[in-house]
Amino acid sequence: MTARDDKPKLSRAHCLDLLRHMIRVRMFEDKCAELYTTEKIRGFLHLYDGEEAIAAGVIPVLQLRDRIVATYREHGHALVRGLPMANVMAEMYGKFEGVSAGRGGSMHLFDAETNFYGGNAIVGGGLPMATGLALADKMRAEKVVTVCFFGEGAAAEGEFHESLNLAALWSLPVLFVCENNCYAMGTALDRSESETDIHAKAACYQIETEAVDGMDVVAVEAAARRAVHSIRETDKPYFLECRTYRFRAHSMFDAQLYRDKAEVEEWRSKGPIVRFQGWLAKSGIAHPEDIEKIESDVKEEIEEAVAFAEAGSWEPVEKLTRWVYAERA
Amino acid sequence: MAKRIIKAETVQITYREAIRKAICEAMHQDERVFLMGEDVGRYGGCYAVTKGLLKEFGPERIRDTPLSESGFTGAGIGAAIGGMRPIVELMTVNFSLLAMDQILNNAATIRHMSGNQFGVPLVIRMATGAGRQLAAQHSHSLEGWYAHIPGIKVLAPATLEDARGMLWTALDDPDPVLIFENVMLYNMEGELPANAGPVNIEKAAIRREGRDISLITYGGSLWKTLEAAEALAREGIKAEVIDLRTLRPLDDTTIIASVAKTRRAVIVDEGWRSGSLASEIVTRIVEQAFWRLDGPIARVCSEEVPIPYPQHLEQAAIPQAEKVVAAAKNLLSK
Ligand SMILES: Cc1ncc(C[n+]2csc(CCOP(=O)(O)OP(=O)(O)O)c2C)c(N)n1
């Protein structure tokens, strides 16, 4: 590892990359919401609106051989990781051309090529798996980091505590990233936890921890670099709590009775995109043309993705029961 | 002239030792194999199956875990996806309930949910069954529940040969395999060919041939059922005894062929009767061989009660040879 690659370098190109990631995720999901109302996308749809700085800040810091475990709110992670947007969109439609061949849908995006181990829709269910992936790497002396994303709601699950303990006890290279968006569905953090400092819980397991402003993509990236650097150096787990907020409903079924519109608006004004974009404009790093270009490129990519998904095929019903077990020659 | 039969060399061995031997061999043959669970190392395993292995293979590969059934079962799943071949030991099926989320929601689903991109080549071993007066939280037989789940395979070795041979085949399987070891079998001792090795995990076995009635069972109940068959033989009834061996997927072919021949069946299952594996087998027979039957099918299952502590009640709660004999004679109107 070179001397200072644990610090972000804020070149113009890099700043635009960070911004592009966030805008790309935001616009993709705006489209998904629209497609949900027209019933092209069904089932549960959990949007990442407001939390984009976390995936954008953490994932590009990783190498291709590193592994990612995410939750049902994982469209952003998948896109930033490099799963092709067209195949992600096809998965949202349930088409055979989807990243999981249509079998998973929005909550279960998987991709072997980029070591993306899914969208897990059991709260806390991905943490033991991430711990085990890291155990495999450790036992084979592979220098690989496994990153596990989850919401603060998971901190109430036993699997959270069991996994943190195992990772610390066995000294496993896992980066736990808690996306603390203040609510687990309708339950505010202080209505469900006696200790609301999530990273303090991790510290109890002797894990190096840090809480960071999850609305600040540069701060997230800097923290992620420190974390990944530390894991590669020490082979020990690291815990990052990113404080953020979800601007939209928990899923498309949520009437949001549990919070005020004013609260949402206040957070929106501190959103990761307005904030970073504003700063880039003010400091002269990004010009209006840059942003227009990003938006028009993304718009085109989304149009192509939708066309691809529309043109995709439905898996024949005759194939229904395959992939329950491996097909052996 | 009498033919000289060259007997393969045999060794005297217990069921427990047969499993230990299988683990040992797997660890030697494949460096990806490791074992983890509560007290598998220093303590030697709650049923002493893994005694001595820590010394031979070290703490990395004979890995003691905290009391975190869900956590380390999930870690086994992750390690399997990550390229290892873990054996997870859960002390007993009763505690496996704390890991059921991982087993069902992750191990059994990931191949499917990922569109066949990821498999989980994991083996989970656990003890099951009553008979040691351990009362209602340590004695249940829930393997039938697991047999309900598509995406996993469920094995119940009842013989020394299977205790010795199923593990390797399970480790070689690209999908998760659960192995249920009946607690009453660990001390069972007998002869096993010295060169015993892997066995198939696809076929049920006919442990005793007969033409009058099929007695279908698995695991710890096999020996009681064989005892029943012996008793029936003394009364001139030739019972065929089928050892299912694999509870998922079930070997319908062997079951149906036997029932088509004998025209009568009793299912013996240590699980509770309602919604049991025995119910499933009855249904399959009715679906596939109804017209070959000469009469109703009977089940000998556990009574619908949590397993009690006192020995007489515990024994009354689970299948026994006498109950099997009575059920068979009843079907034969004898
Ligand atoms: C084990 C489990 N319990 C309950 C649910 C239903 N559920 C889905 S998401 C959710 C809230 C989780 O909140 P959090 O972990 O903070 O993540 P967020 O949705 O805010 O990203 C709940 C209760 C579930 N999916 N899994």
Of the pLDDT bands very low, low, confident and very high (cuts 50, 70, 90), residue B5 is low
Would residue B121 count as lying in a domain? yes
pLDDT given for residue B91 in this prediction: 97
Detail the DSSP E strand segments found in B65-198: 85-92, 123-128, 153-155, 177-182, 189-193
Contacts with B, A 293-312, CB within 8 Å: none
- Domain range for B304: 205-332
Please report whether residue B154 resides in a domain.
yes
Residue B4 lies in a domain: no
Q: Is the pLDDT score of B134 beyond 50?
A: yes
Average pLDDT over residues A144-157: 98
Q: Does A222 reside within a domain?
A: yes
> Can you tell me which atom of ligand 1 is nearest the CA of A155?
15
As for how many domains chain B has, the answer is 2
pLDDT of residue A2: 42
Q: Is B1 or B249 the better-scoring residue by pLDDT?
A: B249
How many C-beta neighbours within 10 Å does residue A281 have? 14
Q: Do B114 and A108 touch (CB under 8 A)?
A: yes
Q: Provide, as residue numbers in chain A, all residues whose Cβ is less than 8 Å from the Cβ of B80.
A: 132, 136
pLDDT at A3: 45
On whether residue B58 sits in a domain, the answer given is yes
8 A C-beta contact, residue A70 and residue A149 = yes
CB B204 within 8 A of CB B241: no
Angle subtended by helix axes A288-311 and A272-282, to nearest 10: 140
Whose C-alpha lies nearest to ligand 1, atom 5? A123
Percent of chain A with pLDDT over 70: 98
Which residue range(s) make up the domain with A127? 12-309
Q: Do B115 and A99 touch (CB under 8 A)?
A: yes
Looking up residue A62, the CATH number of its domain turns out to be 3.40.50.970
Instruction: Verify that B216 and B322 share a domain, yes or no.
Output: yes
Q: CA-to-CA distance for B225 and B216, rounded, in angstroms?
A: 8
Would you state the pLDDT for residue A329?
Answer: 66
pLDDT digits (tens, 9 = 90+) for B165-198: 999 999 999 999 999 999 999 999 999 999 999 9
Catalytically active residues of B, by annotation: 69, 138
Contacts with B113 from chain A: Cβ below 8 Å: 100, 103-104, 108, 110, 118
What pLDDT band is residue B267 in, cutting at 50, 70 and 90?
Answer: very high
Comparison of pLDDT for A10 and A145, the residue scoring more: A145
ipTM above threshold 0.90: yes
State the pLDDT confidence band at B149, using cuts at 50, 70 and 90: very high
Q: Are A326 and B175 within 8 A, CB to CB?
A: yes
Ligand 1 in reach of A144 Cβ (< 6 A): no
CB atoms within 10 A of CB B8: 10
Whether residues B242 and B124 fall in one domain: no
Given a cut of 80, whether residue A41 has pLDDT beyond it is yes
Q: What is the pTM of this model?
A: 0.95
Distance CA(A79)–CA(A56), nearest Å, equals 9
Pairwise CA distance, residues B287 & B284, whole Å: 5
Is the residue at A1 inside a domain?
Answer: no
**Two tokens, residue B167:** 């593990």
Task: Say yes or no: A169 contacts chain B, CB-CB below 8 A.
Answer: yes
Q: What is the pLDDT of residues A216-248, one digit of tens each?
A: 999 999 999 999 999 999 999 999 999 999 999
Nearest CA to ligand 1 atom 4: A123
Interchain contact B34–A (C-beta under 8 A): yes
Are B184 and B292 in the same domain? no
CATH value at residue B67: 3.40.50.970
Please check whether residues B142 and B94 belong to one and the same domain: yes
Is the preceding omega at residue A60 within 30 degrees of 0, hence cis?
no
Task: Report residue B7's pLDDT band, with 50, 70 and 90 as the boundaries.
Answer: low
* Domain C-terminal end among B193, B219, B249: B193
* A79-108 average pLDDT score: 98
